[in-house]
Amino acid sequence: MKRTIGIVGARGHTGAELIRLVAAHPGFELAFVSSRELAGQPVRDHVAGYDGALRYENLSHEDVAANGADAVVLALPNGKSAELVDGIDVAKPDTVVVDLSADHRFDDGWYYGLPELTRGAYAGERRISNPGCYATAMQLAVAPLKDVLAAPPACFGVSGYSGAGTTPTDRNDPEKLRDNLMPYALTDHVHEREVTRRLGVPVEFMPHVAPHFRGITMTVNLWLAQASTREAIKARYASFYAGEPLVRVVDEAPWVSAIAGRHHAEIGGFALAPGGKRVVVVATLDNLLKGAATQAMQNLNLAFGFDELTAIPEPSPGWKPGPGDS
């Protein structure tokens, strides 16, 4: 019998990606997709690649809780999940809830699901907090060196404007972004606090939005306590992520245009300054996939005992290792 999955906030970009992934899963089926704005409309009219009969529904918090789905994925803005989770806690507490917002990333009662770094700590929790897209890129870029750092990593992040969601703002207005790079929230960003908490080392994060639609580039400046070599640093990353099919260690600095629409992250560059103590690493990922929907699918698979990559296309289309890639 298939497990049933409901999605709340399905109108957004991440919701559409989740619909495609769940629909392709041999062990899951969509129970409902909730969207107030699209209520009554066929999902297939809005999500390319989905040809099922499901329609969007405008479900109340009580409706979602009473639906009885085996799992509910919350793809809502920050600050909107509490009442839904409270209702599920009462109506069907064994429901797996995967929250894509920041609402539970600082809650020790929820499992924090960045599988490549935290799957060993999963102990059957039914409440799973999906990491932020920027935070995923930062943690993957910093984690292999976090124990040998001499100073807080400085992380310069650039996201496509899909990361700003579908509600109109300056940060997702293509006209305002044209020929532009828009900085915002340059100190104390929620992802800065998230990564500092999860890695146990302070990080400095400077986010920007660019005119492209999807994909994150994270350029990270790292000071080492002891001098090293480029070869040793790259080998450290390759060893750290050995056996992780959704993290690719590459030789050159990866390009965001090559990651859009793909389910893995790439880490490369490994530029070493004279003296051997300053290294710059570049990570890229698709903010809607490995930064959101793909990671949610990894967490759903983990929660229900499926292979972690079930329904996740792998290897990513078109990817071939080049010279020096692992």
Looking at the annotation, which residues are catalytic? 133
Beta strands in the chain (DSSP E): 3-8, 28-34, 56-57, 71-74, 96-99, 111-112, 127-129, 154-159, 182-183, 204-209, 216-223, 247-249, 265-272, 278-285
Give dist(CA 178, CA 296) in Å, integer. Answer: 31
What's at 84, amino acid-wise?
L
| Bridge partners, 156 (sequence order) | 206, 219
Question: Which one, of 269, 232, 279, lies nearest residue 249 by Cα?
Answer: 269
Distances (CA, A) of 172 to 95, 132, 148, 322: 34, 18, 38, 34
| Bridge partners, 224 (sequence order) | 149
Give dist(CA 57, CA 36) in Å, integer. Answer: 7
- Cβ-based neighbour number of residue 36 at 10 Å: 11
Distances (CA, A) of 201 to 142, 150, 284: 10, 10, 21
Give dist(CA 255, CA 262) in Å, integer. Answer: 12
